[in-house]
Chains A and B, each alone.
Chain A
Amino acid sequence: MRTDSALQRPPSATNASAPARIELRGAAKRFAAHGAEIQALSAIDLSVQPHEFVALVGPSGCGKSTVLNLVAGLLNPSEGAVLYSGKPVAGLNRSVGYMTQKDTVLPWRTAESNVGIALELKCRRVTAQARKDRVARMIDLVGLNGFEKHFPAELSGGMRKRVALARTLIYEPETLLMDEPFGALDAQLKLLMQDQLQTLTQMARMTVLFVTHDLAEAIALADRVVVFSPRPGRIRTVRTVDLPRPRDIFNVRFSTAFARLHEELWNELKDGIALGTNV
């Protein structure tokens, strides 16, 4: 079987030193819906190294979110294997922080209480004072000052997204999975958040798997951009972004290197979309 042979292969076959943080080996996902089987993701190979920032771009319905769900352990691959730090993902993967596309802030908690919830858990053991300080810093970072005591129902969609972002970033998970985290934000705020995300992930040396349909965002943030083609989702191109870090998020998009990358990847993306609509 494919799964077994993939597992029996020594993990050092592809990497000389440490195992990849995330590795998908021929991982595919099919769903049964209304009696029919839908191929959400065809067998893909993808590996993400520790401290690497990888962006997945592609039109909606191309299986990007499925990749995140596989890594988080919310889904099992229909075939192939998903490995995390060299071990197959079995059950929920608690080494990751997952900011889903869906709003999962708790409606009965205030913004600050939502942000601090991960630090209340026994598995972290953070003192109340330390929690308070870190929550205040996070609130400041995502620009929610003045809204600490507001309930989610009293916040705008963009603000709720920022609460969810702060809630995920605050406990500095080893790996960050983000599903279109800034989709609901306006252009200026988006840049601000991207800048802060870059600072934080670089500082905490996090591994990031970032789903977006905004190509400029992907290039500005990522070390590598993976372009997906739709239905059934498969990897079309993987491109290394060799822009030096730290990047000036606000101006990097005006450089010629950026423009060249953008054009090249846009063509890939465009072809993929055209292909998708023909199918």
Chain B
Amino acid sequence: MPTRNSGDVTGTSTPFLRTTLGVLLLRIAIVVAVLVAWEMASGRLISKFWVSSPSAIFAVLRRWVADGSLWMHLEATVTAIGAGYVIGCGAGIAIGLLLGFLPRTQRVIAPFLSAFYSIPKIALAPLFVIAFGIGIESKICLVAVTVFFLVLFSTIDGIRDVDPDLIESLEIMGASRFEIATKLIIPAAKPWTFTGMRISVRYATTAAILGEVIAANRGIGFLIEYNSGQFNAAGVFAAVLILVLVGVVVTELLTRLERGSAPAVLPF
């Protein structure tokens, strides 16, 4: 047959597997296939001790849902992420703006900030446990510190990136220092700060789980650590599965938020 206009492809003859529903069904099929293969292999090809099985994992999940422990652990982790994120962002923006407007002070303390920032957070975690105990406070602190530096540095970079010619043009117009800050520097740094905030969401999740794995009495990270201590592979997989779901929800929320605020944030 002679080939026709490519525009015709969008007509009624689109192959089913290319439609949104088709793609979704294809994805589900892949998941089902993997689960079935896993279930079949488990106990036959590979020992249940190492890989558990989908049915065992779902049994664990059902038990956690039934006795309410899932919500308790989920709440602990989400609270640690949320509270730490808010505190970290708040402090990062506030101190970032302060240092941005005080370039000489910033120059003096910059090496200390970089040194503190370069410490792997996993090395800090035990310190926070000593200082704040194994409760949620030490996780909030770890998340806050992680987020703080990312937001701080992106805010400082954003302020430093403001074109001096723009500042001069407003100064000649008669703008005061305060007006230059509110009308120029803060709006110019905003996309940078937002980038830092966006990136740090994922780091916040990692930091919370890390804190819980190291020392905790609740949380998803605690579930992972506790079940692996019990050599309960099904429990570990169940906890990891919850993490995956949390990750998907957070990413989805972020994408929607960004889409909603994009025109105001990204005129560049």
* Chain A interfacial positions (CB closer than 8 Å to B): 72, 74, 92-94, 96-98, 100, 102, 104, 106-108, 117-118, 120-124, 151-153, 171
Contact = CB atoms under 8 A, between A and B. Distances in A.
A153 B176 contact: no
A100 B187 contact: no
- Classify the secondary structure of A's interface with B: loop
**Size range of the chain B interface in the assembly:** 20 to 34
Contacts of A96: 172
A173 B169 CA distance: 13
- Classify the secondary structure of B's interface with A: helix
A74, A108, A123 interface centre (most CB from chain B within 10 Å): A108
Nearest to B179: A121
Contacts of A153: 267-268
Contact of B175 (A93, A97, A98, A121): A121
A106 B166 contact: yes
Interface in B139-161: none
Interface of B: 163, 165-166, 168-176, 179, 183-184, 187-188, 190, 264, 267-268
B177 to A, nearest CB: 11
B267 A117 contact: no
Contacts of A92: 168, 171-172
B169 A104 contact: yes
Nearest to B167: A104
Contacts of B187: 106, 108
Given A106-B187, A153-B268, A117 B166 contact: no
15 contacts: A72-B172, A92-B171, A94-B171, A94-B173, A94-B174, A104-B165, A106-B183, A108-B267, A117-B173, A120-B183, A121-B175, A121-B179, A122-B176, A123-B176, A124-B174
A96 B174 CA distance: 10
Nearest to A96: B172
Contacts of B169: 98, 100, 104
Contacts of A98: 169, 172
A108 B172 CA distance: 20
Nearest to A72: B172
Contact of A93 (B165, B166, B172): B172
Contacts of B172: 72, 92-94, 96-98
Nearest to B175: A121
B263 to A, nearest CB: 8
